[in-house]
A and B are shown apart, each in its own frame.
Chain A
Amino acid sequence: MTDTAVPVTTRKDWTSDQEVRWCPGCGDYSILAAMQMLLPDLGVRRENTVFVSGIGCAARFPYYMNTYGMHSIHGRAPAVATGLAVTRPDLDVWVVTGDGDALSIGGNHLIHALRRNVNITILLFNNQIYGLTKGQYSPTSEQGKVTKSTPFGSLETPFNPISLALGAEATFVARTHDMDRKHMQEMFRRAHGHKGAAFVEIYQNCNVFNDGAFERVTGRDVRAEQLIPLVHGEPIRFGNEAEHGVVIDPDGRLRIVEVADVGVDALLVHDERRDDPGLAFQLSRLARGPFEPTPIGVFRAVERPEYADAMSRQLREAAEQRGPGDLEALLRSGGTWTVD
């Protein structure tokens, strides 16, 4: 929330005194730095900012932020954050989670938080591996993944977090990656400004257990050719010379084309505000995984009544209709009789 009297702060003010204990080289460091550098620009107060996490490497995040914070239990951060955000609409509530925390043990809470559209900002650090437990496959690991718990390869089809969020009625869905601080900050800023549940998937490198999982799309030398920036109101195109683009075929399918072949006017113009999430969903399926051209940016940003607002309105209306709660009257509401 913005406030004209918000004191000027710097990154230091948002940094706690705790030693950061992620593995050297972990992508989490760059996400943390992006956040700590962004917050002074958001016009928010430390005391009104809360980071809530579950369990996992990413879940240590709150300890490093000089704000209010809770490191809760595995998978439950969206539930904890929901209770906090619903009762304290004055706060900025961030949820920091990972692919195991959010999509495996906590999958239920994630989808329901998105569906309710409660005003929380969910940052999902997706490294496609279990790091804290030292290297088992996760619900976003690719099929065939060989890990300690799948020595013969994983049998499971991975979740696509963006597709999942869109299917869960999310009103704000975005993707970014840990190699691009500016893009991360832009996504965090947009997510923070969204009224309702905002979901940001962050491709995050685990250099110990799953090094280079996103290298083929986020690497500096391939990025321009492999990441498809989604910009609202703009034709969807990418490549070193913006020579590639996305079109809708007559059968409704999305396809990557050469702009030279079809002309700019034939390209799909990105509309993040489309009420129907169908196109956003199709965009989320454009890449089968982070090894071919992959959209990043805001897939969807639509307005829908925010949950805590709606609940507060019900409370206000009840008080208007019935007057403020009167305990004496409540105790008598079931009918009484008197014994003399």
Chain B
Amino acid sequence: MSTATEHPRHPTIELDRVVIRFAGDSGDGMQLTGMQFTTASSLFGNDTATLPDFPAEIRAPAGTLAGVSAFQVHISDHDILTPGDAPSVLVAMNPAALKANLAAVAPGGTLIVNVDAFEERAFEKAGYPANPLTDGTLASYTVYEVPMTSLTMRVGKEAGVKPRDAERSKNFFALGLVSWLYSRPTESIVEWIANRFKSDPLVLDANTRAFRAGYNFGETAELFESNYQVRPAQLEPGTYTNITGNTALAWGLIAAARQAGLSIFLGSYPITPASDILHELSKEKHFGVRTLQAEDEIAGIGAAIGAAFGGSLGITTTSGPGIDLKSESIGLAVSLELPLVVVDIQRGGPSTGLPTKTEQSDLLHAMYGRHGEAPVPIVAARTPSHCFAAAVEAVRIAVTYRTPVFLLSDGYLANGAEPWRLPDVSSLPSIDPAFAEATGPVPNEPEPKEKENGHVEGQSNGSSGASGGEAGFQPYARDPSTLARPWAIPGTPGLEHRIGGLEKEDVTGDVSYDPANHEHMVHLRAAKVAGIAASLPPLEVDDVDGPGAAPVLVLGWGSTYGAIAAGVRRVRARGLQVAHAHLVHLNPFPPNLGEVVRAYPKVLVPETNLGQLVKLVRAAFLVDAHSLTKVQGLPFRAAEVEAAVLKLLGVNPETSLAEEDVAS
């Protein structure tokens, strides 16, 4: 297939970036279409960022607003940070897809609609009183009406597939058309189709024909005046792959286990949007990864705790509702002081909430959501690819400090994809599990001993206990620098001991109800988690003229990274100063966070919740931090962050730059 640039009747216009949204019924294959377009663009050398947006229902009634599934992709010739605020192109496979997504399209944007689906009954289902193509609804947009269904069915018939099946290839027609429109190389897509459908030659043929038909339609129909080109971006040299957050997270866990010389055990119960981590890890058994699809969320973490006791890297993955159920077990892990990674792919709540939509509303739950004083370290990923490094860091903390660790991601990161420059595997940090070692043969002499409470102990060395089986092994003795206790695994002679959820006596690990000991242990567990800060790098601040120079600091955490960084760029493009710092460690905070926030007259904290980090920051540092919140199940747009910064700067947001002027 030749590229459009060779056809003089269609001039090719260069763009620096474009945001395209594919929308259709959830059965129309829009996610797949979007991902293939993204992959083709990444392979071509563009920077890309994606935002899948799909309903919780597997197949809501066809043609209804509830069933609309969309995939937004931002491609550009320079590095970008977000999937784009507003699509400039919307591909709508039916009236419902148009209706559900029109409001998001940039003013004057382009609409490519499958005109075959625009008929009376479909208008009704979508809630359109009349045909939006003819009643003036779309007057401010450029509309291309393409008979995608009928053209797809025609090539399907040529391939010999039944009419009902032929229609199903129309997403490939759309993919072909948009690939032509944006001058995408077609080889990778054709290859992908051949591979994906190799088991069904008829479907393979139909899909390939539909894809080519879409491409050729763009090239030959006198519909489009021009097509477009987005040149490759100047990305940092290296080897890249396109990766979603969930895949990066799973790979990060595998990498961390390798660095620690541990075998992974994942106990997990399927839940949106975390299940893909279970799927991914289940595939990689040749890494020695064991996965258990447990009977419920509680069993998932329970089994992970059991595996951790046995010396494996215990992991459990879930989303908010699962965290609710796991809370008691996380408390147990706090008491046991065993390494454990609890992955929370946050989604909209409360309750079942918005299973497929993103939110950052579990931060305070991760921080405080257990009875008793039960501190747990928290690490949060900030971009899809950063999930890899965040997973390695969570494992480092869990293993080094013998503690459960929360690893927070969210629906936006989990399903969003971006190009990732592969790390040098040899540069990954080493993690030392430092298992307690066997003691020599130990006599088992009874040695009666008077305990403080007056009970005469019958057996064994008095300094052992509920815990210490033998000759003074102290399961709750601590490393002086990390305060970590020994990880003594079954099978090690001489270190037999018992642990549990009852309060421990310091050092011996004996069950203890002693008031002073309880207070001491509560402080010890808190000090251990607080002490992790000593191992953290100082928080970096992106402030052009040096830390403290700008009048406003935007402080974020997790998946708001892209929107904040892009919003900050837009403010700076106006000649204004603003600083950005982004937290990966939420508990404990990096050691210099207080210094950083106090260095700025104003601090803005954008979060997709009702202001959770801002509460922690205000409480910890007594600074008057401002909250910017959004709880729509969607990530921030760069423009929203920009507007909030301008407001704090006292600049009229009305004079804000149009999106086209500044790439996000």
Query: Which residues on A are within 8 Å of B, measured CB to CB?
Result: 12-13, 15-19, 45-50, 52, 62-63, 65-73, 76, 79-88, 90-91, 108-109, 111-112, 311, 314-315, 318-319, 321-325, 327-328, 330-332, 334-340
CB <8 Å contact, A91 and B500: no
Q: Which one of B105-113, B452-460, B536-544, B547-555 is at the A interface? A: B452-460
What total count of A-B pairs have CB within 8 Å?
232
- A321: B residues at CB distance < 8 A: 286
CB <8 Å contact, B498 and A48: no
Q: Which residue of chain B lies nearest to A105 when distances are taken between CB atoms in the complex?
A: B298
Given contacts A109-B302, A314-B285, A332-B422, contact A67 B496 (CB under 8 A): yes
Q: Which residue of chain A lies nearest to B462 when distances are taken between CB atoms in the complex?
A: A17
A76→B306 CA distance, assembly (Å): 10
- B284: A residues at CB distance < 8 A: 325, 330
- B462: A residues at CB distance < 8 A: 17
CB <8 Å contact, A79 and B302: yes
CB <8 Å contact, B490 and A315: no
Residues facing A in B556-613 (CB within 8 A) are none
A69→B497 CA distance, assembly (Å): 6
Closest 5 pairs (CB-CB, A-B): A71-B500, A83-B306, A83-B303, A325-B287, A79-B302
Q: Least Cβ distance of A33 to chain B in Å?
A: 14
- B240: A residues at CB distance < 8 A: 336-339
- Choose from B307, B444, B457, B500 the contact partner of A12 (Cβ within 8 Å): B444
Q: Least Cβ distance of A276 to chain B in Å?
A: 25
B279 at the interface (CB under 8 A from A): no
Q: Least Cβ distance of A8 to chain B in Å?
A: 12
Question: Given A45-B493, A66-B496, A332-B422, 4 more contacts at CB 8 Å?
Answer: A72-B302, A82-B299, A330-B254, A335-B241
A108→B309 CA distance, assembly (Å): 22
Given contacts A69-B498, A83-B292, A83-B303, contact A334 B243 (CB under 8 A): yes
Q: Which one of B120-128, B134-142, B174-182, B464-472 is at the A interface? A: B464-472
CB <8 Å contact, B299 and A108: yes
B499 at the interface (CB under 8 A from A): yes
- B243: A residues at CB distance < 8 A: 334
CB <8 Å contact, B458 and A17: yes
Highest count of chain A CB atoms <10 Å: which of B295, B336, B446, B501: B295
A328→B427 CA distance, assembly (Å): 12
Q: Which one of B14-22, B231-239, B646-654 is at the A interface? A: B231-239
What are 19 contact pairs spanning A and B, CB under 8 A? A16-B459, A18-B511, A45-B493, A63-B511, A70-B336, A70-B500, A71-B501, A73-B501, A76-B329, A82-B302, A83-B303, A88-B491, A91-B310, A318-B286, A327-B425, A330-B251, A334-B241, A336-B240, A339-B45
Given contacts A72-B500, A331-B251, A335-B39, contact A86 B238 (CB under 8 A): no
CB <8 Å contact, B422 and A331: yes
Q: Which residue of chain A lies nearest to B305 when distances are taken between CB atoms in the complex?
A: A80
- Choose from B39, B288, B292 the contact partner of A325 (Cβ within 8 Å): B288
CB <8 Å contact, B306 and A84: yes
- B511: A residues at CB distance < 8 A: 18, 63
Q: Which residue of chain A lies nearest to B336 when distances are taken between CB atoms in the complex?
A: A70
Highest count of chain A CB atoms <10 Å: which of B287, B292, B299: B299
CB <8 Å contact, B490 and A47: yes
Q: Which residue of chain B lies nearest to A13 when distances are taken between CB atoms in the complex?
A: B444
Given contacts A17-B465, A321-B286, A330-B254, contact A79 B501 (CB under 8 A): no
Given contacts A17-B458, A68-B497, A321-B286, contact A337 B42 (CB under 8 A): yes
Q: Least Cβ distance of B555 to chain A in Å?
A: 32
B247 at the interface (CB under 8 A from A): yes
- B422: A residues at CB distance < 8 A: 331-332, 336
Given contacts A17-B458, A83-B267, contact A319 B286 (CB under 8 A): yes
- B43: A residues at CB distance < 8 A: 335, 337
Q: Which residue of chain B lies nearest to A110 when distances are taken between CB atoms in the complex?
A: B295
A332→B310 CA distance, assembly (Å): 32
CB <8 Å contact, A73 and B329: yes
- B91: A residues at CB distance < 8 A: none
- B292: A residues at CB distance < 8 A: 82-83, 86
Q: Least Cβ distance of B194 to chain A in Å?
A: 14
- B461: A residues at CB distance < 8 A: 17
Contact digits for B264-282, partner A, Cβ 8 Å, 1 yes 0 no: 0101000000000000000
CB <8 Å contact, B305 and A87: no
- B497: A residues at CB distance < 8 A: 68-69
Q: Which residue of chain A lies nearest to B39 when distances are taken between CB atoms in the complex?
A: A335
Q: Which residue of chain A lies nearest to B313 when distances are taken between CB atoms in the complex?
A: A87
Residues facing A in B201-251 (CB within 8 A) are 235-243, 247, 251
- A70: B residues at CB distance < 8 A: 306, 309, 336, 498-500
B640 at the interface (CB under 8 A from A): no
- B455: A residues at CB distance < 8 A: 19
Chain B interface bracket (under 10, 10 to 19, 20 to 34, 35 or more) = 35 or more
CB <8 Å contact, A79 and B459: no
Q: Least Cβ distance of B446 to chain A in Å?
A: 7
Q: Least Cβ distance of A335 to chain B in Å?
A: 6
A15→B460 CA distance, assembly (Å): 9
A331→B170 CA distance, assembly (Å): 32
CB <8 Å contact, B490 and A318: no
B304 at the interface (CB under 8 A from A): yes
Q: Least Cβ distance of B167 to chain A in Å?
A: 30
CB <8 Å contact, A62 and B458: no
CB <8 Å contact, B306 and A52: yes
CB <8 Å contact, B466 and A16: yes
B486 at the interface (CB under 8 A from A): no
A314→B290 CA distance, assembly (Å): 9
Highest count of chain B CB atoms <10 Å: which of A47, A52, A318: A47
Residues facing A in B404-425 (CB within 8 A) are 421-423, 425
CB <8 Å contact, A86 and B290: yes
- Choose from A67, A86, A323 the contact partner of B286 (Cβ within 8 Å): A323
- A328: B residues at CB distance < 8 A: 425
- Choose from A16, A66, A325 the contact partner of B254 (Cβ within 8 Å): A325
A324→B312 CA distance, assembly (Å): 18
CB <8 Å contact, B242 and A335: yes
Highest count of chain B CB atoms <10 Å: which of A84, A311, A338: A84
Given contacts A62-B500, A71-B501, A339-B236, contact A79 B306 (CB under 8 A): yes
Q: Which residue of chain A lies nearest to B265 when distances are taken between CB atoms in the complex?
A: A87
- Choose from A72, A87, A109 the contact partner of B312 (Cβ within 8 Å): A87
A18→B309 CA distance, assembly (Å): 21
B263 at the interface (CB under 8 A from A): yes
A111→B299 CA distance, assembly (Å): 12
CB <8 Å contact, A339 and B238: yes
A81→B309 CA distance, assembly (Å): 10
- B425: A residues at CB distance < 8 A: 327-328, 331
Q: Which residue of chain A lies nearest to B449 when distances are taken between CB atoms in the complex?
A: A17
- B242: A residues at CB distance < 8 A: 334-335
Q: Least Cβ distance of A37 to chain B in Å?
A: 15
- A87: B residues at CB distance < 8 A: 263, 265, 290, 306-307, 310-312
Q: Least Cβ distance of B467 to chain A in Å?
A: 9
- A17: B residues at CB distance < 8 A: 457-462, 464-465
- B296: A residues at CB distance < 8 A: 108
Contact digits for B480-498, partner A, Cβ 8 Å, 1 yes 0 no: 0000000000111111111
CB <8 Å contact, B303 and A80: yes
- A46: B residues at CB distance < 8 A: 469, 493, 496
B638 at the interface (CB under 8 A from A): no
Highest count of chain A CB atoms <10 Å: which of B237, B265, B290: B290
CB <8 Å contact, B288 and A315: yes
CB <8 Å contact, A71 and B502: yes
Q: Which residue of chain A lies nearest to B235 when distances are taken between CB atoms in the complex?
A: A339
A112→B247 CA distance, assembly (Å): 29
A198→B446 CA distance, assembly (Å): 34
B294 at the interface (CB under 8 A from A): yes
Q: Which residue of chain B lies nearest to A68 when distances are taken between CB atoms in the complex?
A: B490
- A69: B residues at CB distance < 8 A: 497-500
B314 at the interface (CB under 8 A from A): yes
